């Protein structure tokens, strides 16, 4: 389905990003998989060997402007950009009573990757999508930006991580509207607990608690949801995935009815 398409996946050395890169390659896309970790090149080679698609691994830090420019230049060399999966993300506890210096350092640590990095990579990629005549941008968010289904689940200990994901709502909504005329779709995938190194890192010895281990979602399920999204063609939506429910696209958003006395 994606033969001839060129995709960038950020944070592709493990977890969800690796699954996104693999699924895109399985669909025949050429994938530029980058990550701040050295192992990205080995991971990319493994996916290429498994799938027979071109998968280029590149060490790059999304929070660094020069690295972002290098990633986009590499994609241009491969032929352009059709798909951008904004997956790279970082997490840490940021207690509200930490020191002033710590709070400001934490802001830079979380926001430079989860928010500014995503802005830089997207802004640099959009001109290439316009040249290709279409595009798909997927922002990787989290389930609690969908409060109708997730009320009260923002952790009190991770205010900056939470804020970084809520901030993506603004990007997804504005970019979807601004880029629709160029046939560029912008959505967010907003998943609950998914079995990745980030999730396992929250628990002693990286062991998921038994209840969670039974129900946790697999990265491959979210990667399939992403492929379904490309086939569906909707734009401007936050698409959820909840532990204990089928992982699916769900119905499209219904526009609010305007109430007015004017016909």
Q: Enumerate binding residues for ligand NAD (CB under 6 A).
A: 10-11, 13-17, 35-37, 61-63, 87-90, 113, 117, 140, 142, 191, 193-194, 196-199
Give the CA distances from residue 206 to residues 22, 153, 168, 219, in Å, rounded to whole numbers and listed in that order. 24, 22, 28, 17
Contact 234, 187 (CB under 8 A): yes
- Helix, strand, or coil here: 56? strand
Q: How far is the CB of 244 from ligand NAD (least distance, A)?
A: 14
Cβ closer to ligand NAD: 51 or 90?
Answer: 90
Cβ closer to ligand NAD: 27 or 67?
Answer: 67
Active site residues: 161
Q: How far is the CB of 48 from ligand NAD (least distance, A)?
A: 18
Cβ closer to ligand NAD: 125 or 194?
Answer: 194
Q: Could you tell me the sign of the dihedral formed by the alpha carbons of 42, 137, 251, 143, in that order?
A: positive
Closest CA to 143 of 202, 217, 84: 217
Please name every residue paired with 194 in a beta bridge, in sequence order, or none if there are none: 217
Contact 83, 230 (CB under 8 A): yes
- Burial of 244 (C-beta count, 10 Å sphere; 0-12/13-18/19+): exposed
Q: How far is the CB of 192 from ligand NAD (least distance, A)?
A: 6
Cβ closer to ligand NAD: 84 or 199?
Answer: 199
């Amino acid at each position: 389905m994606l033969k001839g398409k060129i995709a960038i996946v950020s944070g592709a050395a493990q977890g969800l990003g690796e699954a996104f890169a693999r699924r895109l390659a399985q669909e025949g896309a050429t994938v530029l998989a980058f990550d701040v970790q050295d192992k990205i090149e080995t991971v990319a080679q493994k996916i290429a060997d498994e799938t027979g698609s071109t998968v280029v691994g590149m060490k790059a830090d999304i929070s660094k402007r020069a690295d972002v420019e290098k990633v986009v230049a590499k994609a241009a060399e491969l032929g352009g950009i059709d798909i951008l999966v904004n997956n790279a993300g970082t997490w840490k506890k940021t207690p509200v009573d930490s020191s002033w210096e710590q709070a400001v350092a934490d802001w830079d640590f979380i926001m430079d990757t989860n928010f500014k990095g995503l802005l830089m990579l997207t802004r640099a990629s959009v001109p290439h999508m316009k040249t290709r005549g279409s595009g798909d941008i997927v922002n990787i968010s989290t389930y609690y930006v969908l409060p109708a289904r997730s009320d009260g689940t923002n952790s009190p200990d991770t205010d900056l991580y939470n804020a970084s994901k809520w901030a993506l709502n603004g990007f997804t909504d504005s970019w979807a509207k601004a880029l629709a005329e160029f046939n560029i779709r912008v959505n967010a995938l907003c998943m609950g607990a998914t079995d990745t190194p980030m999730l396992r890192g929250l628990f002693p010895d990286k062991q998921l608690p038994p209840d969670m281990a039974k129900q946790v979602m697999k990265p491959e399920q979210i990667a399939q949801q992403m492929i379904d999204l490309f086939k569906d063609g909707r734009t401007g939506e936050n698409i959820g995935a909840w532990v204990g429910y089928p992982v699916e696209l769900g119905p499209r958003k219904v526009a609010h009815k305007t109430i007015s006395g004017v016909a």
